[in-house]
Amino acid sequence: MADWLVVVGALVAGFAFGALALVLLAPRLGRAPAKAARDDDEPLDLPPLFEPRAPAPRQGPAAPGARRPLTDEGERTIPSEWARRLSGEPDAGRQRGVCSGCGTALSVSSKRPLRITCPECGRTRLLT
């Protein structure tokens, strides 16, 4: 019985100490920090954090089978390849991968950049 009284007494004392700390610190919690004294009260000349920009025009979803227009001349020179379904280890000069659309195990060429297409679901990705 004496052990329970010690435990209960410690809990009550802890709650009382916490309540006392809140009562003493509560007036300070809501206050704004004191302003540093400056010789001149002129506003600082700082550059803006974000430059205002016009929002990009929204485009609806692409039609099935539609391709996005090529925007860069470099994109036209990127070779394309149909990935091969992987069974076992990949051949020399090829790497193992997984389609992000359907999860099919694939084998693709090691050269980069390369645009690959999954033979299972038809998803196309650019590997860089």
**Is residue 99 a contact partner of residue 84, using CB atoms and an 8 Å limit?**
no
DSSP string covering 31-49: SPPPPPP-S--PPP----S
Would the pLDDT of 46 be above 90? no
Query: Which is more confident, 94 or 41?
Result: 94
**CA separation for the pair 111, 77 (Å, rounded):** 13
Q: What pLDDT is attached to residue 16?
A: 93
Would the pLDDT of 43 be above 60? yes
Question: Is the pTM here over 0.85, yes or no?
Answer: no
pLDDT tens digits for 89-109? 888 889 998 988 888 999 998
User: For residue 121, what are the contacts with CB-CB under 8 A and spacing of at least 6?
Assistant: 99, 101, 102, 104
Would the pLDDT of 72 be above 90? no
Q: What pLDDT is attached to residue 78?
A: 85
